[in-house]
Every structure is written in C-alpha cells, then in structure tokens.
Amino acid sequence: MYLGIDCGTQGTKALLITEAGAVRGRGYARHQLIERASGAREQEPQWWVDALRTSVTQAVSHHGAEVLALGVSGQQHGLVILDEAKQVIRPAKLWNDTETAPQNAALIERLGGKSAMMERFGILPMTGYTVSKLLWVKENEPENFARIRHILLPHEYLNFWLTGQLYAEYGDASGTAFFDIRTREWIREILDEIDGGTGQLAAALPPLLKVEQLVGTVRPEVAAELGLSPQCVVSSGGGDNMMGAIGTGNVRPGIVTLSLGTSSTVYSFLEKPLDSIDPSVAPFCSSSGGWLPLVCTMNATNVVTQTLHVLGKGVEDIDPVLASTNPGADGITFLPFLNGERTPDLPTAQGSMHGVTATNFSAGNLLRSVIEGVTFGVLNGLELILQGQPASKIQVIGGGSRSAEWRQMIADATGAVIQVPIEEEAGCLGAAIQAMYAYKSQQGTPVTFAVLSERLVSVDEEKTAHPRAEKRAAYRAAQDRYNAVLKAQFPNL
C-alpha cells in the first residue's frame, strides 16, 4: 500500500491506497493559525507534526505494516529555519503572509527591477514567496537570522521529521524564488544579496533530489509510533500544487488543473519551460519531471465563505443563488481582494464593489458577483498560461468544485468541459502516486506517471459540466467589465 500526506494551511490529511487505487484509509487533523494585523500568517512546524501523527494514525489503522512508501505534499512558499542543532528557530511564515511585501519589493529593486529579474533568473518573486521572508527575518529578527543553518519548506520539514534527512526537490524549490527553473539549481546570487555574500544562506540549502530518488527510510521510532512498516520509504514529495497536478492526472501536456480552495490556483503540465512568460505566471517545475506554469490568486473560497456568513447563508445556498441570478450579476462587479492579492501583484489591495444601483442590489447578485470576481481572477491567470490557446478540458478540485453551478459557470465562461476527479484529496493522491513511482523506480520496475494516472485517477461523470454556448457572450462581457474595473482601480498594473 501507499500513503499520501497533505499538509495544508487549515489541516493535514492522509490517504492510504492500494496499488490498484482502492482507498483503505483516511485521516485528518486541523492546524492552528497565527494571524496579525500586519499581514503575518504563521504556524509552528510542531503543529504540522502533531497533525501528521493524528491523520496518519487514523489512515493506516490496521494496515500500517503494509505501507511500502509514502509521499508528503505541503503548502508552498513557507519558511522553516533551523539552527545548528536542527531545531526550529521561530514559527514558519506561510504562503499567505503579506507582512514581507516591503522586503519583496526591495529585493526586486536591488536586483535590477522586474524585467531584469525575469531575464536573469527566469522568475519574478511575488509577495508570499520564500525569498522575501528571509530578508524580513534579517531586518526584523537579526538574532534569529544569525542562527540560520538550514532552510526548509513545509513538506521538506515533515520529510526531515520522518527520516532525519534534509533534502529538497525541484517542484517546491521553484516556489522559493532562489531556484533557477531552467537549470534546476539554487541561485546563490539572490541569497548573497540578502546575507551580504557571506555564504550563510547558500550553505543552509538542502541538496536537491530527482523525482525517482528517495529521501530515505522512516526513522524506526517514528515508524513504531505511527504503526508503519520499519521498511517504509519516503519519496521526495513536493508542493501542494505539484502534488495536486499528479493527483488529477496533470502529468502530460493538454490537461489543466484549477483548484478552488482557500486560495485558487490554475496550472498545466509542460515538457519544457515556456520560452516567454508573463511576470504574473509562476514558471514552476513540476514534481513529476517536467514544468508546471502556475497562477495563484489569494482570494477564493475564503471570500465566498465570508460573504455567505455576512449574508446569513450557508454553502448549500450557493447553487440556488447562482441558478436564479444572471451572468454578470446585473452589472455588479466585485474585486475580491480581502487578503491583498498575489495575481495581480497587489499585496496591500482591498476588496471593492462597483456598479451597485437601487435595482440590482440584492443578496443574490452580491453573492454571484463575489463568486464571479473570484472566478474571473483565476481565469485571467489561465489565459496567461495558455497564451491565447483555448482550454478544452479542465480538472476542478478544492472546496469550490463541490458546487454544480460554480462548475457550470466555469464551463460557460471558458468553453471548456469541466471534470471533477472522484478522489477529492488530489494532493494526498498525488503524493501517494509519487511514492509509488519512486518506490518502483528504486525496485527496478519503473512505471511512468502517465500510466499510473491512467490507472489511479478517475473522474466523476455525474459532476461533468459541458459549456453552454449561449452563455459565453454574457460571461465574456462580465469578465471584460471586471478587467476594466481592475485597471481603473489599479492603473499601474
């Protein structure tokens, strides 16, 4: 059997599957979150460990001795720093931490500006990426900065706790902004800009693994505690988006994955990096041997949930409201930037509502405008990734995928067929599939990701949404209006 673990922002999930893909166990445990008015979003890495203990113990139950390999998916961009004794120095700053926005802007300026950074390094740091967090620690906590001896991402820290080994891999590393996605090597020059060329930070980076390589074997004491086989091995793992790609079969060109979770992401596998890329697109590597250009928006189901709460409604009201209102919300446009925004790069932006009149101001139009605002933001990103090519099929995952009317909205707005994988926990499934891939590679019986996904990833046909051609023009007009309002509010974009 194979175990997939997904350490997200809100909690850690675990999924146990057989080689044929049958589910044999699940587990879940919530996380706490540190939030401050400054934009700080942090978690103690120990909370992830505690949640892993709980979720894995639930998932493996009586099957732990049969687990051959496991993989870990983790929230991207988080910064975990360890001292010389490999002890955590401070809480991890997370992907949605906007406190480091000034440091991000300063780094871009110090390294020559946006265009120069894209040309020299192939990536433009966004607020929330790991690199600006290091400069923030240096400027705000110099004593902690001086103690840094190891730099890890969240999934790498859990790999370390499981095996005692410190390693990184290409997918999650490409979200740090000090990793060259073209050469697949760390970029020392960017780290030298932060530490003054002392080499402290470059020396703190873990070595990089290829996807077919293993981090190591689960430590005996950890295996005993979790009820796992003492021979259980750990694959390289990766960021949650990279694992979500594997878990939706997005391991070959032509497939798009759109995740509607706390944040929203959209990405598509490529066999080589894009030749030219918009700075808003994160030119990441995949964790399956290729590349995964991605766009992330920070405001998605969290904004919808908050709106439902304000209106005194629940998630069960989403479908009836969308079914009873018109595309374009009768002229209301909502910019959903309640948490700042990454794409477009507006870390200090605030949300706003436009076009409200005495005749269109209703609870239904308000909710629809919020969902449309979230949707148009991520579809703008999809258009950047596809570079003018239409999407024919989109796999939708995350909490938003449970809404039939939201799925239909995306189908109508894009002209693409929308599918939902049967396994909702795509990150867990992707981590388990990667573990299977690495285990078989090491056993001398390799199998491709395409073959594995064909066998292990299936869609729920009852949830498939086909585009309605008669709705396309109305959604195109609404999205154009959204973009016009966005440009008027933020003319420097």
Instruction: Give the active site residues.
Output: 240
Residues in a beta bridge with 41: 35
Spatial distance between the Cα atoms of 33 and 51, rounded to a whole number of angstroms: 13
* Residues 334/310, Cβ–Cβ less than 8 Å: no
Residues in a beta bridge with 239: 74
Spatial distance between the Cα atoms of 460 and 136, rounded to a whole number of angstroms: 45
Three-state DSSP at 155 gives helix
Q: Which of 154, 151, 4 is nearest to 69 (CA)?
A: 4
Tokens read off for 67: 């687990």
- DSSP character at residue 381: H
Q: What's the residue count for the chain?
A: 493
Q: How far is CA 154 from CA 158, 398, 478, in A?
A: 7, 20, 38
**Strands 214-217 and 233-235, sheet pairing:** antiparallel
Spatial distance between the Cα atoms of 447 and 18, rounded to a whole number of angstroms: 16
**Tally of CA atoms within 13 A in the half-sphere of 122 that contains its CB:** 21
Three-state DSSP at 102 gives helix
Tokens read off for 374: 């979230």
Task: Return the H-helix or E-strand segment holding 45.
Answer: helix 45-60
Spatial distance between the Cα atoms of 322 and 408, rounded to a whole number of angstroms: 10
Cα-Cα end-to-end distance for the chain: 49
The residue with tokens 């192939």 is 122
Q: How far is CA 47 from CA 91, 136, 333, in A?
A: 10, 23, 39
3-state DSSP percent of the chain in helix, strand and coil, to 5: 40, 20, 35
Spatial distance between the Cα atoms of 190 and 196, rounded to a whole number of angstroms: 10
Three-state DSSP at 28 gives strand
Instruction: Give the relative orientation of helices 130-140 and 101-110 as an angle to the nearest 10 degrees.
Output: 100
